[in-house]
Amino acid sequence: MFKKILIANRGEIAVRLIRACSELDITSVAIYSDADRHALHVKKADESYNVGADPLAGYLNGHNIVNIAVTSGCDAIHPGYGFLSENPELAEICARRDIKFIGPNADIIRQMGDKIQARTAMIAASIPVIPGSEGNIESLDEAKKLASSIGYPIMLKATNGGGGRGIRRCNNEKELIPNYDRVISEATKAFGKPEVFIEKCIVSPKHIEVQILADSFGNVVHLFERDCSIQRRNQKLIEIAPSPQLTNAQRNYVGELAVKAAKAVNYENAGTVEFLLDAENNFYFMEMNTRLQVEHTITESITGIDIVQEQIRIAFGLSLQYKQKEIQFRGFAIEYRINAEDPKYDFMPSFGKITRYYAPGGPGVRIDASIYTGYVIPPYYDSMCAKLTVWALNWESAMQRGKRALNDIVVFGVKTTIPYYLEIMNNREFKKANFNTSFVDDHPELINYQSQFPPELMAAAISAAIAAHEGI
C-alpha cells in the first residue's frame, strides 16, 4: 500500500481524506495557505507544508504541489473535490514525476470534463442524452437557430463547466441574446475557455446521480443512486440516498446505465454519473464527475463501503473488493450541507469567528466538519463549513433523525443554513418525497427574506463570493 499521501485540498474534505489515510496506516501530508494556518486539516495531518500567502494560488499550483509531494517523500496525491480535482494537467504532472494521482488518468478527465466530448461518447454507447448541439456554438446567430429548432426553454452551458457554474436558462430569444455573452464571459474567467453549447431545458426534473467504482482490470460496479434535487441556483443543498422517489425498476435501470457509461470510456477509480429524470420518467445523461463527490457520505452510509479507501486501493493497483451482486443498500441517508450563509439575506456568505460549536451525535449521525470553537472562517473560500449526514431504516425515521440532529448542532458566531433546512424538513411535499429541482424556487415561504442588506455585510459578502467563485 502507499506509504505517504499528499492531500491537495483544504477544509472538511481534507480532514476526511486524512482520516482514511490514518485507518490505512498511511502518513498524511497537508498543504495550507497563510489563511489556513490554523485550519483543522493542518492540525490533523501527520505533516503540513505552507503554500504561500495568497489564499487561492497555492491550492491551484499543480507544479508546486507535486514538488512538495516529491520532496516530502509522498508516493501519491489525493485531490479531493474542487480546486485541481478535475484538472488533467495535475494528473499529467503526477505521471511525469512518478507520483500516483488518485483518480482517473488525464485523458479521461479531459474527455469527461468537455461536455461535448462526453455527450459524443455517451451517444456512441447508446446512453440517452438531452437533445442539444452536436458541438460548440460558434456564434449568436447559430445559437438562435438551434434554440428555435430545439424549442425553448434551453440551457446555455460552458463546455468545460462544472459545479453549477457557467449555466444560464433562456426562456426565449430575448433572454438568449444577453446570456450568450454572459456565459462566454463566465466560461472564459472560470474555466479558461470561451466554449459554450446548448441543451434543451428539462423543466423541473429530478436530479439523480449514480456513484460508480472502477478498477484497472475492467471491473465496474455502482453503489446505487443519490437524489440531489434540493438545490438552489444549480448548487446542491440536501442530498438523499437512495432516492425515495424511484422505483426499484428505475433504480436498477439507472445503475446499469451508469456502469455502461463508465465502461464506454474505460473509466478507472471513483466517479459519479449524473442524470436528469423528466416528468415522463425518462432518464437523460447530464455529465460525469471524475472525482470524489461532496455527498459521497450518504452512499457510504447506506452501503457500508468506504469510498475514499476504495479510491486509494484502486489507485494502488488493487482490484475491486466487491462484485455488483454483493453490494446492497439498507435504509435512507440524508446529507445537509451546512453553509456559512444567511438564508434571510438571500444566502449571503457569513464569515468570522466561531464563538461556540457543538457537534451533533447519537445513533445514525455523522458530521464532517472543518470548524471548531475559536476557528475563524476566512472569506476566501467556499461557504460550506460542515456536512451533517444522518441514516435511518426508513424515510420517515431519516427525516426525524435529521431534524433532531439539526437541532443538536450549535454554531454561534456566524449565520448558517441550519434554520432553512429545518423548515424544509417540515414541508409537506418534502415529507411525501415529492420534490424536484424547482423545490426551492417553488417554496419561497420557507424563508422570511429581509428587504435590505446591511451595507457593511454586503460589501464583505460580495468580495467573499467573488473569491470563492474564482477559486473553487
The 10s digit of each residue's pLDDT in 265-324 is: 999 999 999 999 999 999 999 999 999 999 999 999 999 999 999 999 999 999 999 999
Residues of 227-251 as b/e, b for ≥16 C-beta within 10 angstroms?
A: bbbbbbeebbbbbbbbbbbbeeebb
> pTM of this prediction?
0.92
Query: Is the bond preceding 153 in cis, omega lying within 30 degrees of 0?
Result: yes
pLDDT of residue 191: 81
CA distance 200 to 154: 5
Question: What is the share, in percent, of the chain residues with pLDDT greater than 90?
Answer: 87
Q: Positive or negative, the Cα torsion across 437, 277, 236, 60?
A: negative
pLDDT in tens, 219-248: 999 999 999 999 998 899 999 999 999 999
From start to end of 74-195, where are the E strands? 76-78, 100-101, 154-158, 167-170
Report the alpha-carbon angle 331-359-408, nearest 5. Answer: 70
pLDDT of residue 458: 56
- What integer is the mean pLDDT of 369-385? 96
Strand runs (DSSP E) across 295-364, as ranges? 332-339, 341-342, 348-349, 352-353, 356-358
pLDDT of residue 135: 85
Model pLDDT for residues 158-167, shown as the tens digit of each residue = 888 766 678 8
* pLDDT for res 337: 98
b/e map of 68-89 (b: 16 or more CB within 10 Å)? bbeeeebbbbbbbbbbbbbbbe
Q: What is the pLDDT of residue 472?
A: 40
pLDDT at 286: 94
Interval 47-76 mean pLDDT = 98
Task: Tell me how far apart the alpha carbons of residues 175 and 170 are, in angstroms, rounded to a whole number.
Answer: 5
Cα atoms in the 13 Å half-sphere on the side-chain side of 290: 30
**Average pLDDT value for residue range 115-140:** 93
Which secondary structure element, helix H or strand E, spans residue 112, and what is its range? helix 106-113
Looking at residues 382-402, what average pLDDT do you find? 97
Report the chain's mean pLDDT, rounded to a whole number: 94
Set of cell numbers at residue 331: 435504509
Q: Helix or strand or coil: residue 125?
A: coil
Say how far apart CA 163 and CA 468 lie, in whole Å: 12
Average pLDDT over residues 74-90: 97
Q: Is the pLDDT of residue 471 over 50?
A: no
Q: How confident is the model at residue 46 (pLDDT cuts 50, 70, 90)?
A: very high
The pLDDT assigned to 193 comes to: 82
| Ramachandran category for residue 169: left, alpha or beta (phi over 0 → left; psi -120 to 50 → alpha) | beta
Burial of residue 27, with CB atoms counted within 10 A of its CB: 0-12 exposed, 13-18 middle, 19 or more buried:
middle
Per-residue 3-state assignment (H helix, E strand, C coil) for 187-216: HHHHHCCCCEEEEECCCCCEEEEEEEEECC
- Range of lowest pLDDT (233-237, 355-359, 392-396, 399-403): 233-237
- Given this model, what pLDDT does residue 163 score? 65
pLDDT at site 469: 46
Pairing of strands 196-200, 100-101: unpaired
Q: What is the pLDDT of residue 470?
A: 45
104: left (phi over 0), alpha (psi -120 to 50) or beta: beta
What sign has the CA pseudo-torsion 443, 447, 452, 458?
Answer: negative
- The pLDDT value given to residue 160: 80
Q: How far apart are CA 167 and CA 186, in angstroms?
A: 9
Can you list the domains of the chain with their CATH numbers? 4-102 (3.40.50.20), 131-200 (3.30.1490.20), 206-467 (3.30.470.20)
Residues marked as catalytic: 291
Residues 140 and 180 sit within 8 Å (Cβ to Cβ): yes
Please classify residue 433 by burial: count the beta carbons closer than 10 Å to its beta carbon, then call 0-12 exposed, 13-18 middle and 19+ buried.
middle
First-to-last alpha carbon distance for the chain, in angstroms, is 31
Single-letter amino acid, residue 333: A
